[in-house]
Each structure stands twice: as C-alpha cells, then as structure tokens.
Chain A
Amino acid sequence: MVKEYFFEKTDRTNAFITRLGLAMYEETGGPLEGKGIAVKDNISTAGIPTTCGSRILAGYVPPFDAHVVTRLREAGAAIVGKTNMDEFGMGTTTENSAFGPTTNPHDASRVPGGSSGGSAAAVGDGMVDMALGSDTGGSIRCPAAFCGIVGLKPTFGRVSRYGLIAYSNSLEQIGPLGRTVTDVNTLMSVIAGPDPRDTTAYDRPYTHTPSGEIAGMKIAVPEEFFGEGVDPAVAESVRNAIGKLEDAGAETMTCSIPSMAYALAAYYVTCTSEASSNLSRFDGVRFGPSVETKRSWHDEFRDHRGTLFGKEVQRRILLGTFALSAGYYGKYYAKAQVARENVRKDFLRIFKDADIIAGPTMPQIAFKLGEKSDPLSMYLADILTVPANLAGVPAISVPCGTVDKMPVGLQLIGRHFEEERVVDAAFAYEMEVA
C-alpha cells in the first residue's frame, strides 16, 4: 500500500537541493516505514533530479535508483529530498555548491562541514531523523562532527556504490547519518548487503543491535591524531571522551601511524586522479545542459566543462590529469598507491593489539563561512579522516561535547567489516554521557 508523507519542515540551512513536499512510501513493514529520509544529491534517484551540486548535471533525472535507494524504499522510507553538497563531493565545507552554501544548524555564520553538509544539517536541524551521505575522505564524519550528529563511514565494499555518482571510486562509501547511534545503526542495517551490480562490494550484510558492553575493549590512541594543527580545546574534549570509554571498561594504549606523514598527499593524488577520469563523462551529450552540436566537439566540450564545472572541481580534474600524465604517473599516482598500502599496513599492525583506534574527527570546530579560501588549507583539514578511507576501514564520528558552543566529534575507527564494534564503542560513549 502506497502512503503519503508530507514534508513541510522549514529549510533554514539550505540543506536541500531538491525537496519533495509530498513524498510517497510503501507500507512494507520495514524498519524505516513512514520515516522521512534525506539522500545526498550524488546518489541516483529514479525520477528525482540528481545534480551532485553541479550546474553540469542541471536537469538530469536518473532512469534508475541507486542500490541504497532501492533498499530505503524496500524498508518503507519516504525519500523527502536530495541534499546539498560540495560539487561532486569535492570539499570540506559544502560551500562549493552550485546551489549556494549550506549553513551550520548551530551557527548560521559557520559551515556544516562537507561534503555531505546538506545531509548533516538536515539531521542536525531536526528536519529528518536520518540521512544518507557519502564519504570519500571524511565527507560523512566531518559534517557529522561539525553539526553534532553521528555519521558512519562503512568498510570499503560493505555498501554497494551502484548509483553513487563517482568522485573517487576506490575510496568512497555511502553511509548513514543520524542524531543517535541507534538511528545510524538502523540505517546501516538497511543499506548494507550484497549487490551484484557493484563488483567491488562484499556479501557482508549488517544486522546488529548496539550494545554498550565494551568492558575489555582495547582502544589505541595515535599520537599523530593530537599533533600539530589540532586545536588544543578540541583535543581536550576528545581526550575526555576517551576517558569516558575507559570509565565504561575499555583499556587504552597509545600508538603511532607513521604513514600519516604522507597520507593526505596520497589521498589527494588518488582522489584527483580518479576524479579526472570519472568526470570525463559530463560532456552534455547524453545528459546535462545542452551543447551546441554544430561546433566542433573539442571546442564545445572544453567550453562546456570550463563553464559548468566549479573552480574546485576544475582544479581537482587538472591536478588528477597531471598526476596521471606521461612522465608523472610514477612520481604521483604510483607512489600514492604504495603510500596507501603503507597506511593500510599501519592500521593492520595496530589492529593486531587494539580493537578500536580513537581520536578527533576534525582538528578544529566548524569553520566560519569563507574561512578556508585557500585550497591547500582546506585540504589539510581532512588529515584525520582520510586515513580510514585509504585503509578501507570503518569509522564513526560521534558528538563529544562542545568548544565555543560548537560540537566536537570523536572518531572511532575499527577493523575491516567490524562496523558492529565501532557502533558499540560509539553507543557506549553515548550511554556514558546520557
């Protein structure tokens, strides 16, 4: 039976690109029945425009649902709209959107984080209970931390990427955002599971009930997560939070991730390289704003892409094109893959002794709008979130107090396919401070 869901909440933060005032859902008896869910606008929705926050996809209506959207519908969810984001996921603030920036629900002069800023703001501002985001280098965890909500980046391959408009295929995952660990757990259980259409995905469904029982859980705290560039007040909040986990029975130890020295560079080389290729299909022929077909294809494509891609997207395409070009592949792309493997090995080594790695999600609280105008300084803000993407391991951000009245996020990272343990640690913290 199809039912109606009226979505009338005010969008104070510019969280949505597309809103459905009347969303339909099916009475499926599923765990999300009758719940309004927001979906990041880089996840394909049949019949609903999907823009990736870019002018180059204006007017595009996918003829198919992403796997996760199918799962949402099967679970009885009402998809209420598509949320704002940095264009193609390229940003840490949701300022790089063709549809204007989203603002932070806690302070309208600040950014919500990015790139899933719209999803995080929609949840943080109470418009929806849960939303889907995608995380390439922190794009779920960063806005979750900045908006004071919970966000989980799953293990690479646990959630099908089919229908996620690719920015950096080898790094990104779709994941849940919610106000509570329980909500995030529920949404995760809906979207995880096998999908033959994503041949990089595993058959590892997620059926878990969060448990606060973490006595004996071993938590490693990397010194690099509290190093230069991390706001001391943020660091203190996070250390206090780790203390709460000890109170709940966890054992803590210090550890080191030496590959953090070059992880961010490896990340940006990899994601820009993949992006330079992924974004080649936006040529205005089969979809997107029209091209003048009487001009030569080369002139037309160049102008089309030069006009309709935003500056940050252009910058990353150029960086990636350069990193893959003849004579530079070895110095950049190939080296980045070795670096990436080193990061993975560092994690595997630590996870021999520890169950969880804990630290801040972001080195600072939410930036002021316009604060990060220099690209490199924006990139540097991702330093604590990219390692989990490079290693492919699951990571959650859970709110752990405030600094200057702005939320701080505690990041908990687990072994491959141990989302359950990561969720339990986050749940234990949530209960401890409740």
Chain B
Amino acid sequence: MTDKTVIIGLEIHCQLNTKTKLFCGCSTDFQGDEPNTHVCPICLGLPGAMPRLNKQAVLYALKVAKALNLTVPEVSEFSRKNYFYPDLPKGYQISQYDKPIAEKGIMEVDDDEGHPKNIRITRIHLEEDPGRLIHKTSRDRAGYSLVDYNRSSIPLIEIVTEPDLRSPKEARRFLNKLRSTLEYLEVFDGEREGSIRVDANISIKGHNRVECKNISSYKGVEKALNFEITRQRNLIRKGQRIEQETRHFLEGRGITTSSRSKENENDYRYFPEPDLRPLRVSGWVDDIVLPELPDARRERFMTQYGISENHARTLTGDLKVANFYESVADADSAIAAIWVADILLGEINYRSMRIDDVPTMNIADLIALIRDDTITDKSGVEVLRVMLDHCMGDNVETCEMPADIVTRLGLTKAAGDDFTAVIGEVIAANPNAVADYHAGKKGAVNFLVGQVMKATRGRADPKELNRVMADALKETEE
C-alpha cells in the first residue's frame, strides 16, 4: 500500500558486462577461477601502475544514460575516493564525483495502485569495484582476512535516484524494471554473482534519514525497506529519535543493524584523478542506437501477438524470456503466451533452470501438439515435466522432443468412445458413486470422470469424456 510519508531513494551499483576490467585488460570472467589469477599490477595497485580506461565501459554507461533519458555533460572526469580498507588495493577507489558521466534522467514505474509515475534519476557514474574479503577466524579467536583481487577494478555504474519512491514494493518494481532495461541494453548480466548491489536511503517524512548499505538482492531491498519502515515507525510511536546513520542489512536474518560509523567520519577527500584525462563524450550519445526497450516491446507484443497485458508484461520482463517467446510464437501466439508465461516459467523456476537451458525447438513442438489437439493440456504438462527433468542444461541433445515423449508414453489424445471399457470398469467398481449420481448428487460424475482420467493418464479429452460418461450413466439407470 502506498504511504505518502515513506521516502525512499536508491543507489544502485550494477556490474557492466565488459570483457575486461575498468582500468586494465584483465578478464572479468573469473567466476569459478582460482583467487588472484585475474590480476595485474594495475588492479593489484602495485606501485607505479597506472589506470587505462576501458572504452566499452564508457559506451555502456552512455547507452544506459540514453535509455534512462539522462543528459551527458560536455566534460566528465574521474576522481579519487580516498578511504582505507584491506580490499581496496590503492587506498582509494577511482570513481566520479562532481563531474559524472550523466545527470538528470527519468524512469517510469507503476505505483502500488498501478498508475504510472516518474522516478527521477539524479546521476549515473562509472567506478571500479574493490576486491573481495573473506573473514577468517582462527583457533586463538583473533581473526584475519583473506583477499582475492579478481574482482578488483570490475566496472560498475552507480545509478542514483531522487527520493521519489514511496513503498518497498515500488522500489522493487523500480529495480526489476531497471534490471530488465539494463539487460535489454546488453550491458549487464543479472545472473552474475554480485552483479547488483543497492544502498537504500529511507526516512519517514519529518524524521532523519537512514542509509541501508550493501543489499545484494532484489528481494533483499524490499525486505530491508520493510524492516526499516517498521523499525522507524516503532521508534516514532515511542517518541524516540531516529538517528541519521548507516545501517547494514543482514540478508540471512532479514534485519538491519547499525554499523556505528558516524556520517562525519566519511571524509573521502575526493579530488580529480591525475592519471586519467577527462572525457568529452556528449557528442557520442547521438551515435548510440538503442534497442527496443521493455515498455515498447510489451506494447508490441500486445498488438502483434494479440496477447493480454499481463502476459505481455511477464514475457517482456526478462530479455531472454521475451526472445524465447518470440521464437516459439509462430506456431500459435496465444497458446505460446499461456505455455511460456503461465507454465514453462514456473516449471524451470522449480527446477532452478534458466530459460536458455530450454531449446526453443522443443517448446515450439509442444505448442504445435497442443494447437493440433494431439494431446490434452494435462498431457502437455506431463510431457513438459518429463522433458525438463531430463534436460541437461546447455546440451540440447539430451532434451527429448515432445512428440517422441508422446509416442513413447502413449499420450496421444483419445476420444471418449475409446474408453468405453474403462468407463464400464469404473462404473462397476464404484457402485456408491453411481448410486449417489442417481440420487441426484450430480457432483458424483466428477469423481467418476476423475477415476477414468487417472486410469488413462489424462489422455482423454475432458469434454468428450463427460459426454460419454453421462451416456453410460444413463444406461445404468434402467
């Protein structure tokens, strides 16, 4: 429920999917690799090494800026943000401060009542990620840290919003849309570990603002905000003051805790990075061609494929799903919408599979089987499950074609007449139900139909079966 007194602003750090790091040629593709194997003098911060800015990262940032309607100033530059931490190899982070790459944009999201509203984007800037720390405890209880610099200097964009969001759900919707926009722009891979991190500023109107740092999931943002609203309201109700502070979100416990750092301790002493030259790239924006973005694609899906807004929304929320849908929509766009949006997504989610693990050819085949009335919907679900259970990720070969499954399991839809014998058996085996039926309990027919379905493993067309069953029961009346 929208509450006008809740004020939320977000700072979203997104990893750009460039091949190399922001300031050196080390590969960003380190998932699963040994620690400290994607490092060089630059990202290790060795003395004498100098940063070299990745052009692709600049182009990606400009693409995002254009998609979110930001202005690219004539000059932007990098600054050093100075602070000490063991994962920060240089003792400063190369970021942008008073001259970010883009300023003042807008993204539209639906509020909790479903009405579109504009969320203002303050700025977008480029910056490098620090390394990764692992906290170790040892037997004598004095812990230490282990550092892996593979992540050091991974390119990030930070997107900062104005405090225009009014509820945790709205914030979640904003993030979902942002994520899908970034994926449509092909600058971001939401499936990479740590690809998005959010700092959320939240306050209740008239009270101090609290910053919740380092939330690393979409769900986490909503949870952290809900927790904070409750916590802050409770304090206000008790007449207590809300401290202006930074809090950390503990994902596992779903709570925020004070990090006990006072705001004024964060004196980052920003100054222009003397080892990098400024950017003058405002003129580059015109040359950037944006792909179709989620809103436009949703509209197109509705008109081109004649599907509902809800289906269109679900199908366009994720670039890969939208592409998947379009490659199977030819067979029958309406059936395809139902089967992809309502059934397939749930089934792959349940199996922790990704949409690209499913060959489109197989789903197109399944949709054709449904369209041609070859199998019932129920059999269709069975075929899909059998198929997905044996799909081995990328290996398309392992994914059996639905038509073969239908043949193998004998799932071809049969007319009611083919089941006369089964119906006879079911009627004979359930005299009580038959008696109930004749006593006027018409619902008993559903039970009997269900028994036939069970015995035939769903191959019968339900409408047809109902008709034949009614006839058979009539015969038992004499």
Q: Is A326 an interface residue (CB 8 A)?
A: yes
Chain B CB within 8 A of A66 CB: yes
Are B47 and A50 neighbours in the complex by a CB distance under 8 Å? yes
Q: Is B217 positioned at the interface, with any CB of A under 8 Å from its CB?
A: no
Asked if residues B47 and A165 are in contact (CB atoms below 8 Å), the reply is yes
Please, which residue of chain B has its CB at the minimum distance from the CB of A285? B86
Task: Return the chain B residue nearest A288 by Cβ.
Answer: B47
Contact status B274-A274, CB under 8 Å:
yes
B89 in the interface, Cβ–Cβ < 8 Å? yes
Q: Which residue of B lies closest to A66 (CB)?
A: B48
Q: Are B275 and A277 in contact (CB under 8 A)?
A: no
How far is it, in angstroms, between the C-alpha of A197 and the C-alpha of B52 when the chains are bound? 7
Task: Given A283-B91, A321-B269, A329-B271, answer yes or no on A62-B84 (Cβ-Cβ < 8 Å).
Answer: no
Partner of A52, one of B45, B47, B49, B92: B47
A286 within 8 A of B: yes
Q: Which of B27-84 contact A (CB under 8 A)?
A: 41, 44-53, 80, 82, 84
B289 within 8 A of A: no
Number of interface residues, chain B, beta carbon within 8 A:
37
Complex contacts, A60 vs chain B, CB 8 Å: 47
Say whether A280 contacts B46, CB under 8 Å.
Answer: no
Residues of chain B within 8 A (CB-CB) of A287 are 46-47
Q: Are A324 and B52 in contact (CB under 8 A)?
A: no
Residues of chain B with a CB closer than 8 A to A281's CB: 45, 47, 89-91
The yes or no answer to A18 lying at the interface (CB within 8 A) is: no
Convert A293-322 into 0s and 1s, putting 1 for each residue whose CB lies closer than 8 angstroms to a CB of B: 111011001000000000000000000010
Q: Which of A164, A286, A301 contacts B48 (CB 8 A)?
A: A164
Please report the C-alpha to C-alpha distance between residue A321 and residue B271 in the assembled complex, in whole angstroms. Answer: 11
Find chain B residues with CB under 8 A from A62 CB: 41, 46-48
| Inter-chain contact A294/B138, CB cutoff 8 Å | yes
CA distance A64 to B50 in the complex (A): 12
Query: Which of A163, A277, A285, A286 touches B269 (beta carbons < 8 Å)?
Result: A277
Q: Which residues of A contact B275 (CB under 8 A)?
A: 166, 169, 198-200
| Stretch among B140-148, B330-338, B423-431, B462-470 lining the A interface | B140-148
Q: Is the CB of A200 within 8 A of B277?
A: yes
Query: Are A197 and B47 closer than 8 Å at their CB atoms?
Result: no
Residues of B within 8 A of A321 (CB): 269
Q: Does B276 contact A (CB under 8 A)?
A: yes
Q: Does A162 contact B50, Cβ atoms closer than 8 Å?
A: yes
Say how far A225's CB is from chain B's closest CB, in angstroms. Answer: 27
| B267 contacts the other chain (CB 8 A) | yes
B85 interface residue per 8 A CB criterion:
yes
Return A137 CB to nearest CB of chain B, in Å: 15
Contact yes or no, A285 B147, CB < 8 A:
yes
CB B264 to nearest CB in A, in angstroms, measures: 8
CB B40 to nearest CB in A, in angstroms, measures 9
CB interface residues, A 267-294, toward B, < 8 Å:
273-274, 276-277, 279-283, 285-287, 293-294
30 CB < 8 A contacts A-B: A43-B48, A50-B48, A62-B47, A63-B41, A66-B48, A162-B49, A162-B50, A163-B49, A196-B52, A198-B275, A199-B275, A199-B276, A200-B276, A200-B277, A273-B271, A276-B82, A277-B80, A279-B91, A280-B82, A281-B45, A281-B89, A281-B90, A285-B89, A285-B147, A294-B142, A294-B143, A297-B84, A298-B84, A326-B269, A329-B269
**Contact surface of B with A, Cβ cutoff 8 Å:** 41, 44-53, 80, 82, 84-86, 89-92, 138, 140, 142-145, 147, 149, 264, 267, 269-271, 274-277
Given contacts A62-B41, A199-B50, A276-B269, 10 further A-B contacts (CB under 8 A): A64-B46, A161-B50, A165-B48, A199-B276, A277-B82, A280-B82, A281-B90, A285-B89, A286-B45, A333-B271
A-B pairs with lowest CB-CB distance, top 5? A280-B91, A324-B269, A169-B274, A170-B274, A294-B142
